[in-house]
Structure 1
């Protein structure tokens, strides 16, 4: 009889535990905004705090520039570039001006630009021409820089990442075909971001800038609306990179220090709400961090 009661209580306990775990999982998935892939990494411990579809390769748009930042900062660190190195725009970079919908600094053929100017523009307003210019400075050509990007991805042991360009524009947008969209999983993007911040923590001095002034005196605002001073500001957040293309949808890699620990969030293909493709990714980032990192 005692044995029967023990087994009954054990089964009841297991039922309660499974039920509570299922309820927890349901609570995890009950988001106000959906996304194709999600990831939250504790950068202090390396622990994956939350993930959804985090190993699937997906187009990542301008989150590509996290890898571009890493390689450019490597070049500055090893002395092959300096912040004052001067760049004279190539025809390929100037040609990007024709793409009206692509974020860009708008470089002129008869002007010169420093690495510092280009890095700020690439980081703050996600300037695609600045990213391409930096790639040419580092490697001599876009093709050679892309080879370095993919080599670095292999060095990081990323299994779901392939780069075709240094900025993240869709291949079809550039006339190269849909089979040449930059791809990565949410997990891989989080790893790149983690390596970037740990090796080059000074990148955060750029990513947290709410704006900068162009040569013409125009204030150019950061695409990250969660930064302090921006209209959706979130205390503690200091980066990292937004993204959007038709193939990728709205994306965002966020980072900040919460409860004394740095976290990295990655969202790919965030749902647009009533035609708004920018704000939902920031709402979801806030919800993800507040639910699991605070």
Structure 2
């Protein structure tokens, strides 16, 4: 009886162990087996710039029509600065007209000498990736596409992009411009960027101009509705919820395809308060269908992010940081001032890793004297430093703009009042006697 009981227990334990080993975790993908089938890829939290996954992210590769995100940014910036307006009319020249008649390229047909509003051209570019419309916008902003290249390079530098080359406004191969490409560029050249820089561009587009997503999220729109030039524009981003490969929360951004670049896609989606940005370059499906692969490979990264991470508040607003709760004050009514965070510090945190981040405290030396003290008086809310966090161990891809998060400001919790003259005098006298005592004692011993 005892032997049979022992046999039963061994069998039961074996079954439990096997079941535990073979149980499938409730995750679409683990980071190590994402295996994104593309020449380069990157996955980023759009709020903090935290990189959740990357592959060959610093190699400059063809970007095709993803180039148009830079023109979107430059145009939206120009509108914000009142340099152009949405209802401004643009007259189509011979170059723009000829490109618009290329039906083998993504285009809306434009009439030579006809006028179109900036808004019409912008919608055609952002939704339908219309190449001639993009050139028309570039000419409006800079006078010519050749001059516009200077504007593109200047803006790219200001945004902190690296590993890039621009030879035209559209991302087409220059040979598709039938000899009309910008001066000084090779007839067969094409725009290039690294996946990291593409992600930086997308990051700034959705951060600086969030309303751009109102346009990029439009699945279908008629160009010049009700006119003889009416044409249906279906968004090439087929991951928008109502389209072929629809995914919840997807509302942008830009596809790109040429023989040189392959099938590319920059996507963005928001779920449960967390927005992510994805980039795949030259996606390759196992079945050879690259057009579909750019969406299926993007889905891998989106599933990984949303199933494994959630937006967490590491430090709430008005939080004091351990070991850095105060800062010394010079000439203050009090010798120290309490400092707190001026806003919440939020990050995408992997499930179960809430305690895997350590604070990084950085003082702003420009706000302090040579002794590292805040000089009184100072207003409530005076910024004296920043608080960021660092991952304690394991694989950490860092952030788009460095190894640490940009963090939040540390500010004075209350007004820092200046001590009256008597208090300052007595402190000075006390300091003098203290120095004399220390000097005398030092000579005795």
TM range (shorter): 0.7 to 0.9
Aligned pairs for 1:41-60 (under 5 A) are 41-60=44-63
Distance (Å, rounded) in 2 between the aligned partners of 1:134 and 1:272? 35
Q: Deviations over 1:156-214 (max 9, x none)?
A: 22220121111100123335646631110000000001111111111001000001112
Q: TM-score, normalised by structure 1?
A: 0.86
1:36-115 equivalences in 2 (<5 Å): 36-115=39-118
Pick from 31, 34, 49 the counterpart of residue 28 of structure 1: 34
Choose between structure 1 and 2: higher strand proportion. 2
Residue 277 to residue 28, structure 1, CA distance change in 2 (3 Å): closer
Q: Secondary structure at the match of 2:205?
A: helix
Runs of 4+ in 1 over 6 A off after TM superposition: none
Larger radius of gyration: 2
Structure showing the higher helix proportion among its residues: 1
Question: What per-residue deviation string (whole Å, max 9, x for no partner) do you get for residues 211-255 of structure 1?
Answer: 111224432210011112112211111000000001000000000
Mapped partners of 1:70, 1:44: distance in 2: 18
Q: What is residue 194 of structure 1 aligned with on the other side? A: 203
Alignment of 1:165-184 (within 5 A): 165-174=168-177, 175=179, 177=186, 180-184=189-193
Residue by residue, what CA displacement relative to the aligned partner does 1:20-58 show, whole Å, maximum 9, x if unpaired? xxxx664232x4xx1000000111221111000000000
CA shift digits 1:56-95 (9 cap, x unpaired): 0001000000000000001111111110000110111011
Q: Which structure is richer in relative contact order (CA contacts within 8 A, separation 6 or more)?
A: 1
Answer whether contact 1:50 1:292 (CA < 8 A) is retained: no
- Of 234, 237, 247, the residue aligned with 2:260 is 247
Contact 2:219 2:242 in 1 (8 A): yes
CA 1:107/1:273 → structure 2, altered by over 3 Å: closer, same or farther?
farther
Displacement of 1:280 in angstroms is 1.4
**What residue ranges of structure 2 are gaps of 5+ in the alignment?**
1-29, 180-184, 308-445
In the alignment, structure 1 segments of 5+ residues that lack a partner are 1-23
State the distance in 2 between where 1:259 and 1:202 align.
19
**Structure 2: how far apart are the matches of 1:179 and 1:54?**
25
**How many residues in Structure 1 have an aligned counterpart in Structure 2?**
268
User: Is 1:212–2:215 an aligned residue pair?
Assistant: no
- The DSSP-based 3-state class of the residue aligned with 2:260 is coil
Cα displacement (A) at 1:118: 0.3
